[in-house]
Amino acid sequence: MSNRKRNQHLLWRSGFGPGMQQIQSLDQIHSVDLWKGILQNAGGEPKKLVVAENRLQNLFEGIEGEDAMRQFQKENKAAIAEQVKLMRQSSREDLKKLNHLWLDEMVHSPAQLREKVSFFWHGHFACRVFSAHQQQELLHVIRTHALGNFGELLRAVSKSPAMLAFLNNQQNRKKSPNENFAREVMELFTLGRGHYTEWDVKEAARAFTGWSYDSRSGFVFKQQTHDDGVKKFMGRTGRFTGDDIINILLEQKQTARFITEKIFRFFVHENADPKITAILADEFFKSGYEMKVLLHSIFSSDWFYDNRYMGNRIKSPVEFMAGIRRFVPIQLDNPNSSLVFQQVLGQVLFLPPNVAGWPGGKSWIDSSSLMVRLQLPRIWASKEDFRLQMKGDDDVDMGRSPEEMQAARRAKNFITRAGAADWNWEPVWKNYVDVSRERLYEEIAAHLLQTKSAPGRQVVEPFVDKSSREHYISSTIVQLMSTPEYQVC
C-alpha cells in the first residue's frame, strides 16, 4: 500500500481529510511521521469561539448573596423578563454564527485532531438547548478537554449549565429526585445500557441533587436541595455526592470498554473488533483515561491501515462538507447554505436529534439524502440557486406564534439559497502543474477517493470541461466529488 493511501486514510480519520497544501507531500512522508505532526499541531489551548454574551450575568453584576438576589429579582421582574425575551430572540441567530465558526475551524484549523475528537464528543455528549451562550460554553469545555483526560472532561461536561438544563437536573431535588440526568450519565456517558440497575439510577439521582447553575457563575452546588443521606450505589455505601458517583463510574472497567468501543466505531469501523477493543480498553483504563494514549494506540497501529478499515466509512454530513472545503478553498456566498444542507442531510451542529446523538453509519444515507450529496459539489460550484425540500423540526418550532409556524412551514417546502461564490482553484492547479495530461485523471481520483476502485474516466469525462487544462482539473474534481465513492473515506 502506498504512503499516499495510508496518509489520506489517517488524515480523514484523525481530521476532516487532506488539505490541498498537503497533497504533494503525502507520497514521501511516512504515516508515523505524519501522525507525530498531527499530534504536535493539536497541542495548546484552543481559542474560544465567542458569539453570545450572558445577558443575565450582565444584569446581575455586582449583586452578592441569595437574599439580595431574590430582592433584586422581585423588584426587577419586568427588566429580567425583557432580557429573557431578548436572549430567546438572539439565540437562534447566535447558534447559526457558532455553527459557522466551528465549521470554519474544522476546515481551516491546523489542529485537525482536536476538532475531530471534539466533533466526536459533541455527539457523545449530545446536548440540545437553545441558549447560544450555554452551547458556546459547553463547546469550549469540550474543545479544551477533548484530547486530555476523559474523567476531567466528563466532570466538566456534567457540571455545564447546558447539560444540567438539557437533562433536567435543575428539577432534581431532595425528596423529589429527577432521574433523567443520573440515567443518561450512566447509559450514554459512561457504562452503556445494561450495566447498571434501576436502583443505581435512583441512588445516583439522589447524589446529584443540588447540582445546579445560576445566571452568573455557571455551576453551583445548592446544599439546601441536596440529599445528604446514605446511598447504596453499585455495591458501595456512603453519603455520596455527584462527584462521588462520577468517581465510582470511572473506577468501573466497563466505562473504559464502552468509551473505547464507541471511539473505535467512530474513528475506525462501525463494527468494532472485540479483540482489538479489549486490548485498547485495558490500556485506556490503566492510563487513567488519557485520550492521547488511546488515540496513539489506534492511529499508530498496523491494523489501523488494514484494507478492511479503509474506504468504507460513510462520511457524516459535516465531515462531507468540511472535506470538500479542505480540498478546495471555498468562500460561500451565503454561509447559511451550509446550514440548509446540514438540515437536509440530517446533521445540524448543536441540534442533535435526541440525547443519544446522531446514530451515524448507514443512517446517513437514504435515497433522498444521497441525491442531495451527489448534487452538492455541483451546486456549490455552479453559483446557481437551488431548491430543496426541508425536514421539519418540532423542537425548533416550539415557541413560535401561529403566524411564524405557518411561514416556517411554507419556507420548508422549498428553500432557495445562493450556491458557493468562489472556489479558489489557483493552488489546486499549481499542485498538478507537473502531472502529464494523460495522468491527470488518475492523480486526481487517487487524491480524492479512498475506495479500492474508482469510476473510470469513460464514466466521468463526458461531463468534464476539456476546453483548457485548468478547466479539466476543476471540473474533474467537482465531478469526482459528486460520485458515490466520495461519500466514504
Q: What pLDDT is stored for residue 398 in this prediction? A: 46
Is residue 420 assigned to a domain? yes
Give yes or no for a contact between 348 and 386, defined as CB atoms under 8 angstroms apart. no
Indicate the pTM of the whole model.
0.90
Q: What pLDDT is stored for residue 393 in this prediction? A: 55
Q: CA nearest 21: which of 112, 147, 120?
A: 112
pLDDT at 195 over 90: yes
Q: CA nearest 73: which of 54, 60, 55?
A: 60
pLDDT band per the 50, 70, 90 thresholds, residue 102: very high
* 434-438 contact pairs (CB < 8 A, 24+): 437/469, 437/472
Give yes or no for a contact between 370 and 485, defined as CB atoms under 8 angstroms apart. no
For residue 412, what are the CA distances in angstroms to 137, 321, 408, 409? Answer: 30, 21, 6, 5
pLDDT at 69 over 60: no
Q: What pLDDT is stored for residue 362 in this prediction? A: 92
Q: Please enumerate in sequence order all residues whose Cβ is within 8 A of that of 241, keeping only pairs 6 or more positions apart, or say none.
A: 207, 210, 226
The per-residue pLDDT of the chain, averaged, comes to 89
Q: What is the mean pLDDT of residues 417-446?
A: 87
Q: pLDDT by residue (tens digit) across 208-237?
A: 999 999 876 689 999 999 999 999 999 999
Could you tell me the residue range of the domain that residue 383 belongs to? 317-487
Is residue 184 assigned to a domain? no
pLDDT band per the 50, 70, 90 thresholds, residue 90: confident
Q: What pLDDT is stored for residue 413 in this prediction? A: 45
Q: pLDDT by residue (tens digit) across 387-416?
A: 666 555 555 454 444 444 444 444 444 445
Is residue 233 assigned to a domain? no
Is residue 158 assigned to a domain? no
3-state secondary structure 398-434: CCCCHHHHHHHHHHHHCEEECCEEEECCHHHHHHCCC
Is residue 442 assigned to a domain? yes
Q: What pLDDT is stored for residue 92 in this prediction? A: 87
Gap between the Cα atoms of 80 and 425, Å rounded: 51
Return the top range by mean pLDDT from 53-67, 165-179, 408-422. 165-179
Comparing 21-30, 118-127, 144-153, 195-204, which segment has the lowest mean pLDDT?
21-30
Q: In terms of pLDDT, which residue wins out, 286 or 453?
A: 286
**How many percent of the chain have pLDDT more than 90?**
75
Give phi and psi for 435, each to the nearest 5: -90, 130
Q: pLDDT by residue (tens digit) across 131-143?
A: 999 999 999 999 9
Is residue 412 assigned to a domain? yes
Is residue 146 assigned to a domain? no
SS3 call for 254: helix
Q: What pLDDT is stored for residue 381 in this prediction? A: 86
Q: What is the mean pLDDT of residues 377-383?
A: 84
Q: What pLDDT is stored for residue 39 in this prediction? A: 97
pLDDT band per the 50, 70, 90 thresholds, residue 463: very high
Is residue 432 assigned to a domain? yes
pLDDT at 300 over 70: yes
Number of compact structural domains in the chain = 2
Q: What pLDDT is stored for residue 404 in this prediction? A: 47
Q: What pLDDT is stored for residue 82 in this prediction? A: 58
Q: pLDDT by residue (tens digit) across 312-367?
A: 999 999 999 999 999 999 888 777 888 989 999 999 999 999 999 999 999 999 88
212's enclosing H/E stretch is strand 211-214
Q: What pLDDT is stored for residue 422 in this prediction? A: 79
